[in-house]
Chains A and B, each alone.
Chain A
Amino acid sequence: DTEVTQTPKHLVMGMTNKKSLKCEQHMGHRAMYWYKQKAKKPPELMFVYSYEKLSINESVPSRFSPECPNSSLLNLHLHALQPEDSALYLCASSQDYNQPQHFGDGTRLSIL
């Protein structure tokens, strides 16, 4: 069982829709992350939050908008996505940068 919970597990949306992915952890971790994983590829970092502040944005297009409302929650707001954005979106958290990151099971996103 993962201690990082992501909802929804699956999401299908049109290119004009607005939706949000949610991630929650109750391990008291201070760093949270969004990754994108395409089929047969490794996860690629999108954003890092440290103590609820954005610390790394890997040049992600503005149609992806992260938000960290509190230390346990991380959201990824989606708007005007493209078909190539279809992927598995993974959330992770860690106690600190030199501690293991623990991943959720991801949201499988399909853009029509």
Chain B
Amino acid sequence: DQQVKQNSPSLSVQEGRISILNCDYTNSMFDYFLWYKKYPAEGPTFLISISSIKDKNEDGRFTVFLNKSAKHLSLHIVPSQPGDSAVYFCAASHGTMIYNQGGKLIFGQGTELSVKP
């Protein structure tokens, strides 16, 4: 039972263009969502997060959109740069200790982004 899904294993975009990574979830109790970037041989690096009370959060080149009715979130990277090439994970959690699940992050399977010069 995969509660967080990233249906695109890979994505290739041209440098300077927009990268859009998508994520779907099934559990309506999730109230906190995050995006992480991971390079080989390193731990995941936090990029951006959004609470379920918002529908958009922006930080520099990164914007996360949340559509609660569709249980869908997306990460936009504009403009894309070759250094953005990595595996991107979306993750979801209960922000509080509901049903004893506080702090538990559920990750999607990841999308490998390749930004070509």
The chain A residue with its CB closest to the CB of B98 is A97
Indicate with 1 or 0, residue by residue over A25-65, a CB within 8 angstroms of chain B CB atoms: 00000010100000001111100101000011010000000
B51 within 8 A of partner (CB): yes
Indicate with 1 or 0, residue by residue over A79-102, a CB within 8 angstroms of chain B CB atoms: 000000000001010100110111
Q: Report how many residues on chain A are interfacial, defined by Cβ distance under 8 Å.
A: 27
- Which secondary structure characterizes the binding site on chain A? strand
Complex interface: chain B residues within 8 A of A104 (CB): 43
The chain A residue with its CB closest to the CB of B46 is A100
A93 to chain B, nearest CB (A): 10
Complex interface: chain A residues within 8 A of B42 (CB): 2, 105-106
Complex interface: chain A residues within 8 A of B114 (CB): none
A4 within 8 A of partner (CB): yes
B103 within 8 A of partner (CB): yes
The chain B residue with its CB closest to the CB of A105 is B43
> Is A48 touching B103 in the complex (CB atoms < 8 A)?
yes
A97 touches which of B49, B96, B110 (Cβ 8 Å)? B96
B102 within 8 A of partner (CB): yes
Complex interface: chain A residues within 8 A of B101 (CB): 56
A49 CA / B36 CA spacing, docked (Å): 21
Complex interface: chain B residues within 8 A of A90 (CB): 43-44
Indicate with 1 or 0, residue by residue over B90-114, a CB within 8 angstroms of chain A CB atoms: 0001111100111111011110000
